[in-house]
């Protein structure tokens, strides 16, 4: 790894602060828009599928291009890539704020995802270069992980505060001054870091990863409308499997791959990556639903809905540093497995929520368990991935860690949102059986559309009750999916994660592709 001289011990922690600000910026945009979904549904007449694309337009591109972002950082310099991404993030945030239709907003969010894919992997790779000492690095990764976890709640809270006083575009305009601060501080404190030798650019790998991940998410989001067993849905999943299998084969035989898939032959890396992916799958999917539950079912305003997610931030902030200490006493496998089981318990509690559930009861208990479990999972799993690799593989390790996190979150919104729609739409149509078909179809688009339709019916109060109960049924089904995902991750972590700290391993040289 080519890097500047080591930072002064005190300066290193200021460097970490800049990296955390940068990663907070792009992480917050995973969730800040969630609290605006009912507003967007009303003002832009967006259906549930379109709302999923408003969220996933960002996370899908973010996830699909993270490998490329990490590769560009290794090739051209992580600092240069980070600052280029920040500038682009500011410009595309402005475009999102000015969007006038759902299509324009989704396109702007996708462009923001391109920028985020440059920023996110550079922060973790620069962190590893800044903290060569393993103990200090574990602490720094714990703080970095806590910040990415805090963004889960910072997004809805800040979004709710802004929407209480300003138009929905404000949730994107707030990025501009923070981008300026991160750029200025980064120029003053950060030092360049890159890999010394590179082969030809892996264009086939880029296309394969983007096409495979993109088709998987698109097929999942559109499945409820077309049918899970419809020919187009099945063809989409079959094509996804072929694309991803081809991508893995290609990368396994590249001398300088976009993703070194041989890293996953180390069961520690595979299990830790799976734990991260499943934890964020469950969390992002649940947050997509719970912010709508707060507003459409419990009747909260945008600010109250955002503040309602605050337990996530408080508990993650408390448990993430604790996880580092627990790993030293109990080992990685115990802590990560326990964290995933605690998350599963939280989703199980949430599955029993009703239309009249008290916030200071079942809902808070569920969120505290989810957040506490996530705090125990993030930093030990991330340190396992990064610690199992040599220093010069920091870029690859960062790309793996970041990609599984974002792919997991993207699929969480797609799958859990689709499960909710699969339950909600038929339930609300059956509940409004006495209404015309066009009315029932409109109510099935989203819970916001359903409440708007109910308000125009003669027996509006009863119709609204049907809509809310149908959404709660969908929330329950989605929560069970989240619980199952966390339980599966806990099983894998218990079997394959190391009892204690990982030791860096060498990865053998690949066989080149013949005549490629």
State the Cα–Cα distance between residues 297 and 309, nearest whole angstrom.
Answer: 15
Do 216 and 309 have their domain in common?
no
Say how many Å lie between the first and final Cα of the chain, rounded: 27
Q: What is the mean pLDDT of residues 237-256?
A: 92
Q: What is the mean pLDDT of residues 352-363?
A: 92
pLDDT digit string, tens, across residues 119-162:
998 998 899 888 888 788 888 888 887 888 778 778 888 988 89
Q: What is the pLDDT of residue 407?
A: 84
pLDDT digit string, tens, across residues 193-221:
776 656 777 889 889 988 998 888 788 87
Q: What is the pLDDT of residue 390?
A: 66
- The band of 480, judged by pLDDT with boundaries at 50, 70 and 90, is very high
Q: For residue 508, is it within any domain?
A: no
Do 226 and 367 have their domain in common?
no
CATH number assigned to the domain comprising residue 87:
1.20.1250.20
Res. 504: pLDDT tops 80? no
Of 253, 284, 315, which marks where a domain is finished? 253
Most confident of 5-9, 219-223, 437-441, 511-515: 437-441
Give the domain range for residue 242. Answer: 203-253
Do 231 and 297 have their domain in common?
no
Give Dmax over CA atoms of the chain in angstroms.
Answer: 74
Q: What is the pLDDT of residue 277?
A: 94
* Higher-scoring residue by pLDDT: 49, 376: 376
Q: What is the pLDDT of residue 502?
A: 46
Res. 512: pLDDT tops 50? no
Instruction: Look over the chain and give the mean of its residue pLDDT values, rounded to a whole number.
Output: 86
Do 126 and 188 have their domain in common?
yes
CA dihedral 195, 267, 321, 32 (to 10 degrees): 70
Q: Where are the alpha helices (DSSP H) in 293-363?
A: 302-308, 310-330, 332-350
**Length of the chain counted residue by residue:** 516
Q: What is the mean pLDDT of residues 291-313?
A: 88
Q: For residue 507, is it within any domain?
A: no
- Indicate the range of 2-11, 276-285, 461-470 predicted with least confidence: 2-11
Single pTM value for the model:
0.81
**Number of domains into which the chain is organized:** 2
Neighbours of 360 (CB within 10 A): 7
Q: Do residues 113 and 85 lie in contact, with contact meaning Cβ atoms separated by under 8 Å?
A: no
State the Cα–Cα distance between residues 213 and 218, nearest whole angstrom.
Answer: 9
Q: For residue 287, is it within any domain?
A: yes
Res. 513: pLDDT tops 50? no
Q: What is the pLDDT of residue 510?
A: 44
Q: For residue 142, is it within any domain?
A: yes
Q: What is the mean pLDDT of residues 227-246?
A: 93
Here the tokens at position 310 are 């605050």
Residue 19: φ, ψ to 5°? -65, -40
Q: What is the pLDDT of residue 516?
A: 30
Q: What is the pLDDT of residue 197?
A: 55
Q: For residue 389, is it within any domain?
A: yes
């Amino acid at each position: 790894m080519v890097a500047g001289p080591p930072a002064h011990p005190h300066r290193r922690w200021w460097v970490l602060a800049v990296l955390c600000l940068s990663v907070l910026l792009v992480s917050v945009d995973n969730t800040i828009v969630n609290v605006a979904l009912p507003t967007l549904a009303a003002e832009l007449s967006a259906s549930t599928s379109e709302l999923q694309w408003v969220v996933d337009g960002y996370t899908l591109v973010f996830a699909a291009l993270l490998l490329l972002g990490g590769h560009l950082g290794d090739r051209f310099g992580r600092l240069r890539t980070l600052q280029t991404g920040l500038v682009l993030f500011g410009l595309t945030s402005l475009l999102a704020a000015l969007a006038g239709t759902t299509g324009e907003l989704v396109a702007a969010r996708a462009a923001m995802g391109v920028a985020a894919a440059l920023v996110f992997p550079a922060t973790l790779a620069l962190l590893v270069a800044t903290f060569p000492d393993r103990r200090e690095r574990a602490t720094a990764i714990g703080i970095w992980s806590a910040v990415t976890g805090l963004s889960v709640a910072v997004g809805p809270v800040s979004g709710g505060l802004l929407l209480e006083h300003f138009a929905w575009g404000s949730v994107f305009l707030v990025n501009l001054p923070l981008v300026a601060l991160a750029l200025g501080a980064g120029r003053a404190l950060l030092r360049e870091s890159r890999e010394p030798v590179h082969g030809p650019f892996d264009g086939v790998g880029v296309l394969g990863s983007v096409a495979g991940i993109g088709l998987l998410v698109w097929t999942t989001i559109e499945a409820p409308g077309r049918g899970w067993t419809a020919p187009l849905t099945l063809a989409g999943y079959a094509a996804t499997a072929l694309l991803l299998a081809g991508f893995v084969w290609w990368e396994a035989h590249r001398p300088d791959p976009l993703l070194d898939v041989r890293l996953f032959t180390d069961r520690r890396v595979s299990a830790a990556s799976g734990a991260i992916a499943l934890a964020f799958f469950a969390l992002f999917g649940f947050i997509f639903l719970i912010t709508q539950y707060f507003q459409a079912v419990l009747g909260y305003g945008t600010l109250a809905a955002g503040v309602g997610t605050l337990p996530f931030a408080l508990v993650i902030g408390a448990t993430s540093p604790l996880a580092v200490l627990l790993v030293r006493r109990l080992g990685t496998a115990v802590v990560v497995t326990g964290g995933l089981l605690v998350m599963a318990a939280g989703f199980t509690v949430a599955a029993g929520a009703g239309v009249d559930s008290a916030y200071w009861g079942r809902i808070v208990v569920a969120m505290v368990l989810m957040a506490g479990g996530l705090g125990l999972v993030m930093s030990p799993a991330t340190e396992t991935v990064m610690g199992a690799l040599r220093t010069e593989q920091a870029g690859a390790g960062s790309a793996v860690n970041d990609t599984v996190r974002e792919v997991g979150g993207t699929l969480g919104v797609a799958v859990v949102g689709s499960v909710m729609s699969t339950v909600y739409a038929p339930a609300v149509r059956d509940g409004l059986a006495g209404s015309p078909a066009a009315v029932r179809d409109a109510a099935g688009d989203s819970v916001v559309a359903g409440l708007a339709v109910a308000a125009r019916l003669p027996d509006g109060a009863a119709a609204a009750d049907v809509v809310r109960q149908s959404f709660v049924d969908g929330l329950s089904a989605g929560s069970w999916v989240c619980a199952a995902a966390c339980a599966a991750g806990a099983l894998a972590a218990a079997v394959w994660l190391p009892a204690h700290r990982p030791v860096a391993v060498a990865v053998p040289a690949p066989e080149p592709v013949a005549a490629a």
